[in-house]
Amino acid sequence: MFTDHYIQYRKSSLTLFPKVKTLPNDHFAMHIGDLLKYWGPLIKLSEFPGEQHNGALQKIKTNHHLQDLDFTMMRQICRQGRLRALVDKSRYPSLIRDQEGNTHDFDMHVDDTEPDDLNLNDGPGDSDNQSPQNTTANPSSFSASTLFKQALGFLRRDLSTPNRATSAESSSQTLSRKKPDTIPDKTYTSILQYLNDSPRDNKPFRHYAHFPHPLNSVVLPFKGIYRNHIYIHGKLYSPFSIHPGNSSMSFLRARTHPEPAIIQAIWTLEVDGVQRTFLIIQQPVALLPIDQQKNPYHQAPLLQVSLAYDEYEDPIVIEPDVVQGHVPYYKRPPGTFGIDRATVIMVDSLHRGRS
C-alpha cells in the first residue's frame, strides 16, 4: 500500500512540477515499502554516506556505456570499502583471504614513512642500487597473493594516512579563518570543571572572571570556535540543532561499555597553546526499575538495543577520542511497551565494536 501511494505521489508531483529534478532520496523511498514489510517502522538514520557514493557515481561521464559502470566505478567503490575495513585500523583481525582462497597474515603495522619495496624478484640482485621507477618486473612472475598484499599496502597508505593528514590540515586552516565566539557561561563552566577534574601535572585552570589572577596562573580562554560539524574516525558528527541523526552517538566513559548520548554543542579552543575540541553532550534518562522490567530488549543483549526515557540529564563534557560511533534512534510515544512516559529506542551496533 505504501508503494502504491508513493507512486501516485511521485506522478502527481511530476505533473505539478515538471521542471523539478528527481532527487536521490526519491529513488531510495521506492524501497521503503519492502523495508517496512520485513522490518516494521524504520529507525532514523542518516543516509549521507551512501548518498555520497551516489553523488560520485552520478558525476562520472559514462559516454553512453552505462552497462560498464558495474565493472568500473561501482565495483571499485565496493572494493575500497571492504579494503578500508581491513587495513584502516591496526587492531582489526590481520588474517585475510586472497582471491584464490588462501589465507595470509598481513602485517597491519606498516611504516608509512618508508617506501614500499616494489622489486618482486626472488633471487639476489642489484635491488639496492635500483629505484622503484627503474625496476622492471616480469608480469608473469606476479602472483595473486603478492599483488593482493601490495594492493593492501598501497590502499592502507592511500586511504588512511593522506586523507587524515589532508583533513586535519584543512580543518586547521578553516578554524584559523573563523572568528572566535564567546562561550556561553554554563558551557564554559562545564569545560573548566572537566579540565580541572582531568589528571594533569600543571596548575589548575582558573575562571577568566575570577579576578585578581595570581602571577603565573593558567586562565581558560572565554572565546572559542563553535563547530557545526566534526569528523571523528572518518565519521561526521554534528550538534542536535544542525543534524539530529549525526548528533546521536555513543562514548566510552570508563573504556568498558558504550553509553548513548546526544551532542548539543561542539567547541574548539586553545588550551595550554594546543587547540582542543570539546563535545557538550546529554545522556537520556535511564528507565526506572519498574519500567525496565517492561523493556523487551533487556532480554536480548546481542541486539545492542537500549531503551530510555525521551528526557535528558544535565550536560557533560567529553573529547573526541572517547567517541565510539553513531547511534540510530527511534522515538516512541507514551504507552509503548506499557511505559507511561515517552521513550527512545537506541541501536548501538553500527560500529561493531570498532571506533
Q: Choose between 179 and 202: higher pLDDT.
A: 179
**β-pair partners for 269:** 276
> Any idea how long the chain is?
355
- How are beta strands 218-219 and 205-206 bridged, if at all? parallel
The mean pLDDT value for 19-48 works out to 75
123 with 82: CB under 8 angstroms?
A: no
Closest CA to 348 of 247, 249, 264: 249
Q: What share of the chain is helix, strand, coil (3-state, %, to 5)?
A: 40, 20, 40
Distances (CA, A) of 174 to 171, 178, 181, 267, 312: 5, 7, 15, 14, 32
Confidence of residue 261 (pLDDT cuts 50, 70, 90): very high
Task: Using DSSP, state whether 331 is helix, strand or coil.
Answer: strand
Percent of the chain predicted with pLDDT > 70: 65
**235 vs 279: CA distance, rounded Å:** 15
CA distance 251 to 262: 10
Task: Please tell me the distance from the alpha carbon of residue 9 to that of residue 102, in angstroms, as a whole number.
Answer: 52
Mean pLDDT for the stretch of residues 121-145: 42
Q: Exposed/middle/buried for 185, CB within 10 Å: 0-12, 13-18, 19+?
A: exposed
pLDDT over threshold 60, residue 205: yes
Q: Could you give the CA distance from residue 323 to residue 310 in angstroms, rounded to a whole number?
A: 21
DSSP H or E run through 229: none
Rounded CA-CA distance 166/12 in Å is 46
Mean pLDDT over 287-309 rounds to: 94
| Per-residue exposure over 187-208, b if at least 16 CB sit within 10 Å of its own CB, e if not | bbebbbebbeeeeeeeeebbee
The residue that leads in pLDDT, 60 or 29, is 29
pLDDT at site 259: 94
Task: Provide the 10 A C-beta neighbour count for residue 336.
Answer: 16
> What is the distance between the alpha carbons of residues 250 and 331, in angstroms, rounded to a whole number?
17
125-134, 163-172, 199-208: least confident range: 125-134
Distance CA 255, CA 196 (A): 20
CA distance 247 to 327: 9
Q: Each residue of 30-44: b (16+ CB within 10 Å) or e?
A: eeeeeeeeeeeeebe
Task: Assess whether pLDDT exceeds 80 at residue 42.
Answer: no
pLDDT of res. 77: 73
> Alpha-carbon distance 32 to 41, whole Å?
10
The model's pTM: 0.55
